Amino acid sequence: MSTRTTVRWVAWHGLPRLAFRRDHRRGDLHARLLLDPSGHVDPFSGYARVRERGQVVIGPRVCTTASHRTASAILRNEDFGVGTDPEAIPSPFRVVVRRAMESGVAGPLTPPSLLAVNPPDHTRYRRLVAGAFAPRAMQLLRDRVEAIAGELLDQLDGEVDLVERYASLLPVTVVAEILGVPREMREQFVAWGRVATRVLEFGLPFREYRRCERALRELNDWLRGHIATRRREPGADLLSRLVRGSGDSALTERDLIATCSLLLLGGFETTVNLLSTGIALLLRHPDQLATLVADPTGWPNAVEEILRFESPAQYTTRRARRDTEVAGLPVARGTFALVLIGGANRDPAVFAEPDRFDVGRANARDHLAFSAGAHYCLGAGLARIEGEVGLRRLFERFPDLTLAGLPRRRPTRTLRGYDVLPVALGRPPSNGLRQRREGPA
């Protein structure tokens, strides 16, 4: 395990980190975005510098955009895909990357994860799970989200960390039910997810990468046993349907593990960030919260504005699958495109006064927080429901909610949210008002 882990770290993190650190010393803009410590706290000034340079900035290793129009075009362009093509990598490193792609652990960035495969494989995998996230299924799930939110809020009192006690447990409970995972596993999945999703970061130190792989391996091992259980004792959940597949719908064990781990991690990690960020923003903008209290029909649009203003996933990457062009400039095959979603969502060419948080913004839904094109987020509908229900129910139950300490941001650039969000709940409304507010939406 140690040798294979080292090989994978060298390919995915060690060599890129070495190259970009050299570029950083030379003042390269792309390297500054990925490596400057200030980017963790305030990435938006860096995004603005990219936009000042034009629709796209072509560098020696990557092209970068913070333009909404160009970001959308790249994400929808079939000339760009996900993953790494070993043949497009300089020969001295090709064998290292090939060995890394033979990973023994299924993670979010290794095939057959939906985040790491292109059509037609991507189309096939996505089709098999899409039914669980179709609009009709989402309407049925809304009632469960409402019920789970109510159960979690009933357990809160005094001063609490809302990330630990609410923002993480709401989405992980929902996705666990979709996959037939026992409720008592919720805290374990949150712990695995908090470590494993660090693998999405650029240039991880080896020790940190090894921790990520260990968490992913433990998750893989647990899922292997859960899949075996579902084969013997199928239920009405999505995983039971997947293990019964045959013909074109048949999945190998590795396919199943990769799909389930992505749904589990992706199904709650980004929503944790959406909820925690939304709570923090509304507490810091009481005028916007007052608008929503006065008119609760505004909550769905408020969620869109939170997604735009503080996108849970700040950037994504694509790889040029063939020689192509971006915004009229040539891009060679194998070049990576750094798509700054958080920058595109504050592009003044699309959003007036983009640095102003406005829950009534008319075009807030034009954001790219869920990506676009073939890799548009499969769980976008569910995330919107969880965001709207989770935030509305929280502030209805605890209208006097206040910060009780300094929130702590996640130490990540790719995923933007909070690790800790301490609050004082205040007194809930009277029982009669609580009952009226907590009825079915």
Q: How far is CA 423 from the centre of its chain?
A: 24
Q: Tell me the domain boundaries of the chain.
A: 2-437
Mean local confidence (pLDDT), 124-143? 89
Q: Which one has a higher pLDDT value, 40 or 101?
A: 40
Backbone angles phi, psi at 318, to 5 degrees: -135, 160
Identify the CATH homologous superfamily for domain 2-437. Answer: Cytochrome P450 (1.10.630.10)
pLDDT digits (tens, 9 = 90+) for 301-345: 999 999 999 999 999 999 999 999 999 999 998 899 999 999 999
Q: DSSP of 354-423, one letter per residue?
A: TTS--TT-TTGGG--TT--GGG--TTHHHHHHHHHHHHHHHHHH-TT-EE-S--EE-S-SSB--EEE-EE
pLDDT at 153 over 90: yes
Q: For the purposes of burial, counting CB atoms within 10 Å of the CB of 130, is it exposed (0-12), middle (13-18) or buried (19 or more)?
A: exposed
In this prediction, what percent of the chain has a pLDDT beyond 70? 92
pTM here is: 0.93
pLDDT digits (tens, 9 = 90+) for 236-249: 999 999 998 877 77
Q: In what order do the strands lie in the sheet with 422-424?
A: 159-161, 422-424, 402-403
The residue whose two tokens read 């706290």 is: 41
